[in-house]
Structure 1
């Protein structure tokens, strides 16, 4: 099992390193990628840009990929364009996420249920 987790971590670091910094467009370096947290299939991975020193955090949910081989793919040109057009994360966004996570009990089913959408 530990060998499987080590392979997953290596794969995640390679994938994160294939992205560019949204601030300066410099490619991330794999040696700057760190796993911040992991619980079951959810990984929180952070990377600091070697050029501008800004930090980027990725939340990655893994499942048994043999059941869904089509899930691993590069973003389409349309997706890349949409992501590049998005504004950078603002300090208020970070504060909002901090406050949400501080109070979040980990129940994603309840969070995304129809009942919670109606409130």
Structure 2
């Protein structure tokens, strides 16, 4: 694994204290043995320091494990359309936050659509 790649990945991480991204110059690789890497990070915004221990492996990504069938995956992959957003907006405008009533209606067989 390339040190430059590790620095690039860590510079996309956010500081746990202030939430700002680390600058690449403030990400220092201390060393590694096999897949275990030790990296020092410094946040120039809040001046906090951190130590990252990461297991980094090369190779192809593992297969995604899912409990969905192929039909379900196809059904859930449909993009959200503008009408869906309008329906949800109308639902949330009058929703008082009481989910127990919402789920009670669904279990009693009433319509469960958000409009």
Q: Which has the larger radius of gyration?
A: 2
Bigger fraction of residues in helix: 1
